[in-house]
């Protein structure tokens, strides 16, 4: 089975070709530089860039995979959640390709694709797990009982972890997206220099909340503005903010794994590129005797390969393809 997959949920235009669980190509055109001057993604600009980039990206993916369009067996695309106009470009374009080729079409939940991305290349080793999906817009904790059978345990009730990284970074004067920059600067900072709150760390629920941390940083900087003139203090601030976020993510994930009686932890989503998070998850899992599977870094950020792999798994398990009159689902919640 050869699948052409499309992803345009936010600010990256991506196309991929997958075959029998293997990624033949995964082409991504990022819009970071375009949106950087605005300090965040501008939805209308994102949609226009997707319109401009779709054909070149799709052609590049087919060329890299050495696959002709006539060899494609099915088409997949992100159906939601995401920015409505951005989703619309990729979803409708993919449906048009499926209609033209008279091939099956599969709409995929973006979060569900992240959820199973740590198993790409290793579904035969699958085991029940607690999965952390952590990105700019979402922080979700999921119990995965078997392939394609999962249950959401908790999610962010306000700001997601990635949003907290970006917005606190902006307060520190860092460029968008600030998350990777905080990761870089924190490497030479002291994570114990400043004591920021760990929201819901000891709360019995599996939910997350990072708005309080963001507010705490804002007030702290209001009261200590001179710190922003000291490069080492900025590094210390980055390390301290990062430590607060990571501690909450790791503690809640490990606690859920213990409670649910599973021996495996997985993590995916853009924030999973953060080196401290990866290291702390590895340390905590090793301490507790858990297996850890992290999505590869190039599959953590938005990409079409994870869309295609999940679509293939669904078709293999007999989940029927969709009608071509299906619509996007911008607010599609992972169930």
Question: If DSSP codes are grouped into helix, strand and coil, which group holds residue 300?
Answer: coil
- Asked if 87 and 16 count as a contact pair (C-beta separation under 8 A), the reply is no
- Asked if 77 and 213 count as a contact pair (C-beta separation under 8 A), the reply is no
CATH architecture of the domain formed by 2-115+299-316: 2-Layer Sandwich (3.30)
User: β-pairing, 149-155 with 74-80?
Assistant: unpaired
pLDDT more than 70, % of the chain: 100
Q: What is the DSSP string of 16-29?
A: EEEETTEEEEEEEE
Domain layout of the chain by residue ranges:
2-115+299-316, 127-294
Q: How confident is the model at residue 186 (pLDDT cuts 50, 70, 90)?
A: very high
39, pLDDT greater than 90: no
Report which secondary-structure segment, H or E, holds 60: helix 43-65
Per-residue pLDDT at 120: 96
pLDDT tens figures, 187-222: 999 999 999 999 999 999 999 999 999 999 999 999
Per-residue pLDDT at 38: 85
Q: For the domain 127-294, what is the CATH code? A: 3.30.420.40
User: β-pairing, 264-268 with 129-134?
Assistant: parallel
Q: Which residues contact 84 (CB under 8 A, 6 or more apart)?
A: 43, 328, 330
- Asked if 166 and 39 count as a contact pair (C-beta separation under 8 A), the reply is no
pTM across the whole model: 0.95
Per-residue pLDDT at 321: 95
Q: Which residues contact 12 (CB under 8 A, 6 or more apart)?
A: 28, 29, 30, 31, 301, 302, 303
User: In angstroms, rounded to a whole number, what is the distance separating the alpha carbons of residues 155 and 132?
Assistant: 10
- Beta pairing partners, 105: 75
Report which secondary-structure segment, H or E, holds 129: strand 129-134
User: In angstroms, rounded to a whole number, what is the distance separating the alpha carbons of residues 274 and 278?
Assistant: 6
Mean pLDDT of 294-300: 96
């Amino acid at each position: 089975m050869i699948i052409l997959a499309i992803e345009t949920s936010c600010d990256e235009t991506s196309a991929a070709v997958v075959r029998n669980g293997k990624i033949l190509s995964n082409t991504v055109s990022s819009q970071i530089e375009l949106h950087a001057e605005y300090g965040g993604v501008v939805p209308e600009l994102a949609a226009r860039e997707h319109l401009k980039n779709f054909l070149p990206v799709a052609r590049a993916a087919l060329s890299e995979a050495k696959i002709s369009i006539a060899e494609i067996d099915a088409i997949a695309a992100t159906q939601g959640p995401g920015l409505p106009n951005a989703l619309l470009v990729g979803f409708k374009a993919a449906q048009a390709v499926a209609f033209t080729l008279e091939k099956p079409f599969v709409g995929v939940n973006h979060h569900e694709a992240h959820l199973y991305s740590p198993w790409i290349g290793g579904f035969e080793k699958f085991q029940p797990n607690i999965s952390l999906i952590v990105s700019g817009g979402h922080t979700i904790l999921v119990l995965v009982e078997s392939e394609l059978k999962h249950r959401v345990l908790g999610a962010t009730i306000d700001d997601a972890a990635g949003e907290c990284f970006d917005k606190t970074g902006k307060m520190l004067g860092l460029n968008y997206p600030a998350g990777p920059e905080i990761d870089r600067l924190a490497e030479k900072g002291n994570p114990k220099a400043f004591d920021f709150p760990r929201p819901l760390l000891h709360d019995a629920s599996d939910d997350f909340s990072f708005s309080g941390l963001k507010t705490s940083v804002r007030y702290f900087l209001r009261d200590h503005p001179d710190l922003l003139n000291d490069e080492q203090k900025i590094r210390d601030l980055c390390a301290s903010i990062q430590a607060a976020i990571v501690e909450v993510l790791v503690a809640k994930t490990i606690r859920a794994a213990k409670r649910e009686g599973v021996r495996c932890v997985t993590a995916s989503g853009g924030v999973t590129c953060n080196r401290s998070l990866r290291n702390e998850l590895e340390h905590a899992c090793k301490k507790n005797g858990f297996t850890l599977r992290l999505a590869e870094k190039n599959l953590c950020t938005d990409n079409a390969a994870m869309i295609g792999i999940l679509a293939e798994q669904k078709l293999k398990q007999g989940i029927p393809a969709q009608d071509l009159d299906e619509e996007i689902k911008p607010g599609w919640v992972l169930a």
